[in-house]
Amino acid sequence: MCSVGIPEAMNEKEDFFGYEQLTVLLAQNHHVASDELMEKTIEAVEHSAGSTPQPDDMALVLVRRVS
């Protein structure tokens, strides 16, 4: 679960980070430890946005199901 600030983070071209990119990032890193996955997600969003100020907060909660 995340706040809209994650997928709606914009870069200088006003392109959103997006739900699709978020989904791909999470799927590609499903094997990574939870704290590392959260860090990778925040880093990817910040890298995508660059120095563009964001108008919204960014919150991320990661829940894993262990089978």
pTM: 0.84
What are the pLDDT digits (tens) for 19-46? 999 999 999 999 999 999 999 999 999 9
Question: Contact 49/9 with Cβ under 8 angstroms?
Answer: yes
Query: Given a cut of 80, is residue 59 above it in pLDDT?
Result: yes
User: Three-state SS for 60?
Assistant: strand
Q: Residue 46 and residue 51: Cα distance in Å, rounded? A: 8
Phi–psi pair at 16, nearest 5 degrees: -75, 150
Nearest CA among 17, 1, 19 for reference residue 64: 1
Query: Given a cut of 80, is residue 67 above it in pLDDT?
Result: no
